[in-house]
Structure formats: C-alpha cells, structure tokens
Structure 1
Amino acid sequence: MEHHEEVRVVMGKNRHAWILGKIAETDAINMISEIFVKFFMKGGREEGESQQGEGEFMPVGLDGSVILSFSLLSADPNDGIYDWELQKADKLFLAPIVEALAPIADISVESQVLYHTPKASISYWDDNLGSYIFSTKDLPFFVNSNEWHLDTSTAAAGRAKVLQFVVYVPSLNECPLLLRLPNGQTSKTNGFISPMWGGVVVWNSRCSGNSQPTQVSRKTISPEDMQKIFQVIVGQLRLLFGFKSEYFHGLEGGRLNILTSKRGFTEWELDVLFRRHACFNLLSCATTLESLSKLVQSLPRMIVTDEIGKQVELSLEAAVSAQNNASLGVYDASAASSRKARVLAEDVFFHPSIMSISYSPIEHYLAIFMPFFAPVALVVLLAAGKELMRYIGGREQNMYHWLRAKTRYILSFRILRPHFRWHSY
C-alpha cells in the first residue's frame, strides 16, 4: 500500500474482517476493537437506533414459525393482467434465506395475485420529476385494508407470524408512482416497511402515459425486474429482523466496505441474530413457566397430568442445552434449542386441560347451570313459601282456637265455683 492511500476496512461474508492500508499499531488496535464491538457484537447497529427485530418486536410467532406471504397487486387489470413466476424466485432468492434463518424460525412461503386493488392514499403529479408522488406522511394510508384481502387460508389458523410482502402495480393513470422521502429526495427502492406487518414495493411497469390499451394483455414480470424487486424485499426482510438494508456509515480513521451474502445475511450477522433470539426465547420460556407455576398454585383443584409434566421437563432441558451451546459459541444450535424451549413452554401453558380450568371459575359454572336450575328452584321456593305461610297461618288459627277454648273453660269455672259453695255442707 502507498502511504497516501487511505485505510480501508473490509467486512467479509463469514466471520472475518481486513484492514487495508498503512496504519500505526495503536490505531490498528483501536480500529479492531471498534470493529469487534460495532459489528461482531452489535451487528452494525448504532447507539439509539430502534429495537426492531428484538424482544416483543421479534417477527417470529409463538409456535416458532413465520409465514412469508407474497402478494402481487394490480390496481387496474384493464391496463394489463400481471403475473409472476414466484417459484423460480423462491429457489433463487428465498430458499437461501429460509435455510439461513432455520435455527430461529420454521419459515414457509406462499403467494397470491390480486386484481382491482387500488391504494387508499392520494398521489399528486410533479412536473419536475415527471411522475406521480406520494410522500412518507401518506404511508399510513397507503395500504387499503378494505380492498387488499391479503389473509390466506394458510395463515388463518395457528400462532404463526405472518409477514406480508406486497408488490403494488399502479394503474396507467398513476404511473410512474414514486415515494418521496422527508429530505425531498425520491426513494431508491421505491418501497417501505411497516414493523411487525411487512413491506410494500411499488413496481412501475413500462408506463405508456395515459393512453388506455385497446386490448387487455397478459404480462409476466421479467426475471430482471424480479431480481430488482426481490433485492428490495430482502432489504426489507433484513430491516424487519433488526439489521440495516445497507451500511453507509464508516469507521473512525478508515473507509468501510461490507461484502454481501447470497443468503441475505452474513455469518457474523447471523451470529448476532441467533444470540438475540436465544436471549429472548430463554427469557420468554422462563416467564411462561413461572406464570404456569403461579397458575397451578392458584387453582388447587387443577390436576397436573403426566403429559404436562413431561413437556415442562423437555422445555427446561432445551433451555439448558441452549445455554450450554451459547457458552461454547455454537449460536445456531443455541437459537434452535431456545426456540424449542419457548415453543414447549407456550404449548404447555395453553394446554387444553389448563385452559379449561383457568377459564372456568365457579362463576362460570354458575352462569352455565343457572338457566337450568333457576326455574326448578323458583317453583320449589314458591311451594316452600306457600307451605310455610300455610303452616304459620294454621298454627295461628290453632292457637286462636286453643286460647278461645281455654278462655271459655276459665269463664265456666268461675261461674260454677260459687254454685259449689252454696251446696257445700
């Protein structure tokens, strides 16, 4: 290296980094420590950045599964019926990502094509750009929940987390459609994400002005356009899991270059991701089992079956295995074991036998059986009340006759007593 050349830092796709250039030993040590902390420990995240992809913002379902739902939306099919070859894109772009993220989630992919799906927000024409513009302040109103039926049958049941990825094709009357950023520049990706929901990419087909086609034609998105679209989607997926779509910041004293991976995540990024998920899964497992213990203690009539006890043991064994693997630096195995521990803890907490008791208190049974026993109890109570009144009334009447008879006896005794005196000898 020449003396005048600046120092460059290259982050590899695996767990390596290189410092290129002429640099003093003390500066090299400081730069190495900065690289180690900023990238190998924090995954390139700056201080004060959002905690997207961590803790409660982790895009993984309670059962440890994720559904990547891809939807191609055509605002006006009269401009053209669009289709895509997602199976090929799945093999080229998604399969490596699914394989890389397998330790933290069981990922499945599904797709659909929808027509007559206009957006909810309103765009405006910009003469300088020669296109229609929608700004970031209108993004909350872009997704049209009334017209975009994105829920599929696969995601209708279960506790899986669904991430929606929408490719929106605007109508010819609103083409090209560009996203303007707060700084006034247009977005390079022409897309945006919604945390814990997914992302949207606006794909402008070959716009032909406002001229309406005389005949509706069928169009398939070309492989080149599919590659551009899925490059944006992979960047959105990285953002949802807590990483940057691209790294623009440098290091103190040098320029930074980061090599990308075909799997969407480098090895050192996956290590950081596995550690984050392992920590959250173990914390969630411990919290769930603690809640289960308090629930069992609060319900003395609950009978803990052998199946529940076995699942608790398996969950604890998986948690111990995750801790051991993390201490050995085997982060993928640690993440997989922690996911198993969390899933088992969630399954045992939501076991049908436990739910039937925890959600069935005494008031619940009273509310259920009251309609059956209330009419009978009412009749019995009315009959008992009548009998009691009759008994009380009869007793009072008997007392009245007894007092009347006794009064007559006393009066007759007083009348006869002098007569006995007159005839005494």
Structure 2
Amino acid sequence: MAEICDSTSPEPNFDDKTMRKTKPGLKRLILTLTVFFSFLSGLPSLLKSIEIYRSPLPFRDIDSLSNAIHSNPLVFPCKFHVVFVNNDHTSSTKPDENLGFLIGSYMSEYAGNSSSVCGTCDGDYAVSVSLDGGEALREFTFDQTDEVVDEYLQSVVEITRSRLVYTIVVVNSGERDGVRAVVGKYRHGWVVGRVADVEVVAEMVAEMFVKVFVNGAKDERSIQGEFMPVGADGKIVLSFNLLNADPRDWIYDWDFKEVGEKLLAPTLEALAPIANISVESQVLYHTPKSSYSYWDDEHESHIFSTKDLPFFVNSNEWHLDTSIAAGGRSKILQFVVYVPSASECPLRLQLPNGEISVTNAFISPTWGGVLVFNPPNCLANANNMYPFRRTISPQVENNSLLIRR
C-alpha cells in the first residue's frame, strides 16, 4: 500500500496591516549613521578618561641640576665654639681674640690632609672663642667622672648656646700636669689640663673639630657608610630568630626575655644616644637551608664551605621580616640561630684555609649573621621516635649576640 502524504501546511499568520511591504529606506540609514557618528564623537573623551596620566618630567633641568651638584657639591655651614675657663693661671701665651683665626687655620690643614674637605662643611665654617666661660663653668669641678661632666656640659650648653654649634670647653687647670681631651656623646667635648701653650691647645681643638665632630672619627678606607645598619630615621630593629630546620627530629626553644634583660638592656642603653633600637625575637619551625652540605669522614660531620654562604639563607622558608616596627625607613638586623635536622647533623663551617670554624657562624654585612647550633649527641638523638622540646643553653644565646666570623 502506498502512503498518501498531505503536503499542505498551514499558512503563517501575518497581519497585513502591520507587516512592512517595502525595503528599509533612507530613514533607517540616517538613524544608523547618527548612532555611529555619535559613538565616534564620544570616543576621544572615552579614551581620555581611561588613559594613565604621566606627568611630564623636566629632564633637562634635572641633568643641569645633577651636573651643578657634581661640580659644586652641597655644603652645610658649620659653627664651632671654644670656651676657655680659668684663664687666670700663668701661661706662656694667653688666649686672645685672634685664637679663632689660629684654630681655623689648623682646621684647614687637617681638612686638607683628609679624604673629605672638612666633611660636609667644605670650608664654610665659623670659629668663635669665648674667653670667659661664665659662672656656671667656673664653679664646676671637672675632676668628676666623664659621664657627669658630659651631662652637665649638655645642660649648660643647651641653655647658653644653640644645639647646632659644636662646642669644646678648655679648662686651664694649673694643678694638673699634661692635657686630657674628652669627646662626649653630645655635640661638645672638653680639654682639661695645664694650658702652657695656647697654640698646642688650638691645634688639639682643631683636630677634635675636624676628625671627631665633622668626619665622625672614622677611617673612610675601613668603614663604609653603606654598611651602617641604622635607617634614615635613626631607627634599627634587632631581630633574634631561633630556627628549627625539622621539628620532627627535635624542637628547641629559648628564654629570650632573660637574655634581653641581662645582656641586651645595658647595650641598648649605651647606644641610645646614637640610635633608636628595638628588639624582637621569634622561634620558627620547618626552616631548612638552601645550600647543600656533604659528609666528611675525617671530621665526622656534614660540611658546608664559605662558598655556600650566599645560598645558606632560605628566603622562601625563613619568614624573618615579620615585624611591624621594621616598616618604613627603619633598618632590621637579623641574628639567626640555626638548628640543623638530624640528616645533616653535626653541621660545621669550613673556612677557606681548610680549618673548621671555631664559632661555626658567619656574618652578612647590612643583613646580620647566622650561628649554626648542633644539638649535643645529635646522631644518637636522631633515632628517637618522638621529638622532645628542649631549651637552648644560655651559652648559645650569648654567642648569638656576638656572631663573628
């Protein structure tokens, strides 16, 4: 049998009244062009609103200023003042108003022989002389301790003169043979003794001004300014870290509060006038080192050499810079006590001459230092199934404060 299919389908339901019978004409074209040109007209404003603003820099002015600074470095005016006390004693030459010129000439000689011309003064300095120290200085006894004299002069100078003046007090003591010169922790010093020759005292004062106050009493060839850890704001953070490489072998802790009170407090008090020092400590776990070591049968130890030191610190695992106090411009100095794992214990540092380091520690300039602490009988203790928490000995804590090569 043949199937009969009805090929007829229902007609679509179009409304003759609303259906468009002509093609789109000029009206739609005008509407499309209007939208397109509106977009093009607003495109520059859109691009301007999302662009990154880069301020133009006056490169020529910057280069000219840099060349001017190199040819004529910036200098700061320095003021020096000398105060003579008890000038009624007999001397071959008494101080007079021309003493300031004499001291200035000696300062020029000392500045000319140094690597820097009078530090940052560069000849722009003034020397003044007072022949009468005043009643406050005449009645004071300079035979006391240096700390007492230093604090007293600070109080007197603070009242009588500005802090921006370097002052040296020369005390003519006829009862004392010889001359003793002392520089305090503030912007002043004192010379006590029998002033038999004013020219000798003038030369001594000039040397103190140039070498101590201006140049900081440092040898430019041995102490570089870039190695100073103090920040631009005068603050420094001492961070003491005890690192357990693998706490599955052993866990060490320390009583750092006791160490800080007994050892650090006196040192921080002595350094308070030159830097604002704060201290922090922490104990970290799972802190392996980055460098490799090898077993040495002769020393019966795992050895790492000085060539491995640049790779010893593991910055990915050693989270040392976590202090809020170290933010901003402050510098941080790290003191690390590293406890190796049982797989590389004992771990010893081999020096370039082949000998084993006595301190088993090394330093990194401007960063800090690392002391490797090997637990006693670490090879035998490595077989323990469960690690015990131990307190590190006070001797190791003390050595961590004195890390040296």
TM-score band by shorter chain is 0.3 to 0.5
Report which of the two has the higher share of helix: 1
Give the number of the structure whose residues are more often strand, by fraction.
2
Higher relative contact order (CA 8 A, sep 6+): 1
